[in-house]
């Protein structure tokens, strides 16, 4: 944790993303993507042992099976898309001698517009490091892939191709908690419970995001859920440093108009 304690808190962007399948249901995929999704399901079934006998090893998944697994498509950048990015940064209040945590979210059904605005924020602060829970396995690569798919340039923080692991100085609270144990996966709610931090999962969970987005069309609810995650991650980061986490009244939210650029 030494490098974490040496890094100024006010030069860290804490972020979280919410993703959904690229379309509302499997039948809305075009023919090529539908075929490629079936191949993806076949690989998933093989890797995870989703078969009952050797006769099923080479069998492609049925239309029904591929459709039922499509709810998981949002976790893959090739078959999903980003609908919300929440970013938080620390700001020290010299008068009160306390930390404040400023929160801003980018949320829009036009993914390219949203990613462009987010990328511009990072480009304006190239010295800032990124922090997320499981960010190195999910959030950071997902954002990089979706930026490229949308034809957008990578901001400095995500342009890491060819760099050695120790040259990428981003923080990942799950990785920090592993202490080198590669077998361990610890969820954000579990870590929050261990450190006495309020849980971020008091409304919906990641499994509900696609339903809330496509069926309920409630993007602001997803934004609030995403913001709770970065607040929890930021408090966890402070705990790892040996600091006392900020209180709720220290959280400063961006104006609603800039938080949700357009509601679906």
Q: Is 117 buried (19+), middle (13-18) or exposed (0-12) by CB count in 10 A?
A: middle
Which residue, among 57, 114, 61, has the nearest Cα to 83 in the 3D structure?
114
Q: Are 128 and 12 in contact (CB under 8 A)?
A: yes
CB 97 within 8 A of CB 121: no
> Three-state SS across the chain?
CHHHHHCCHHHEEEEEEEEEECCCCHHHCCHHHHHHHHHHHHHHHHHHCCCCCHHHCCCCCCHHHHHHHHHHHHHCCCCEEEEEEEEEEEEEECCCCEEEEEEEEEECCCHHHHHHHHHHHHHHCCCCEEEECCHHHHHHHHHHHHHHHCCCCCCHHHCCCCCCHHHCCCEEHHHHHHCCCCCCCCCHHHHHHHCCCCCCCCCCCHHHHHHHHHCCCCHHHHHHHHHHHHHHHHHHHHHHHCCCCCCHHHEEECCHHHHCCCCC
pLDDT tens digits in sequence order for the chain, 264 residues long: 778 888 999 999 999 999 999 999 999 999 999 999 999 988 887 766 544 444 544 566 778 888 888 989 999 999 999 999 999 999 988 887 889 999 999 999 999 999 999 999 999 999 999 999 999 999 999 999 999 999 999 999 999 888 877 777 899 999 999 988 877 789 999 999 999 998 877 788 888 999 999 999 999 999 999 999 999 999 999 999 999 999 999 999 986 534 444 433
Partners of 101 in the β-ladder:
90, 251
Q: What is the pLDDT of residue 52?
A: 41
- Please report the pLDDT score of residue 262 as a whole number: 43
For the domain 2-22+79-259, what is the CATH code? 3.30.420.10
Could you give the CA distance from residue 185 to residue 196 in angstroms, rounded to a whole number? 19
Whole-number Å distance between alpha carbons of 172 and 159? 17
Question: What are the φ/ψ torsions at residue 79 (nearest 5 degrees)?
Answer: -120, 5
Spell out the domain ranges in the chain: 2-22+79-259, 25-75
């Amino acid at each position: 944790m030494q490098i974490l304690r040496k890094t100024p808190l006010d030069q860290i962007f804490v972020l979280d993303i919410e993703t959904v399948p690229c379309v509302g249901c499997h039948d809305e995929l075009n023919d090529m993507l539908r075929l490629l999704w079936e191949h993806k399901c076949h690989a998933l079934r093989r890797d995870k042992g989703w078969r009952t006998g050797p006769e099923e090893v080479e069998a492609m998944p049925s239309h029904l099976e591929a459709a039922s697994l499509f709810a998981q498509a949002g976790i893959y950048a090739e078959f999903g898309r980003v609908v919300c990015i929440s970013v938080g940064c620390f700001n020290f209040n010299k008068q009160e001698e306390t930390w404040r945590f400023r929160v801003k979210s980018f949320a829009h059904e036009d993914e390219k517009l949203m990613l462009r605005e987010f990328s511009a924020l990072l480009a304006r602060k190239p010295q800032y490091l990124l922090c997320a829970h499981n960010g190195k396995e999910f959030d950071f690569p997902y954002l990089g892939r979706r930026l490229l798919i949308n034809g957008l340039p990578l901001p400095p923080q995500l342009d890491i191709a060819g760099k050695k692991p120790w040259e990428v100085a981003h923080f990942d609270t799950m990785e920090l908690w592993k202490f080198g144990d590669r077998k361990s996966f610890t969820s954000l709610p579990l870590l929050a419970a261990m450190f006495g931090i309020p849980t971020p999962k008091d409304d919906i969970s990641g499994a509900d995001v696609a339903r809330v987005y496509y069926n309920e069309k409630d993007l602001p609810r997803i934004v609030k859920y995403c913001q709770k995650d970065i607040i929890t991650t930021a408090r966890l980061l402070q705990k790892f440093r040996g600091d006392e986490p900020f209180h709720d009244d220290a959280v400063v939210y961006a104006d609603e108009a800039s938080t949700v650029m357009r509601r679906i």
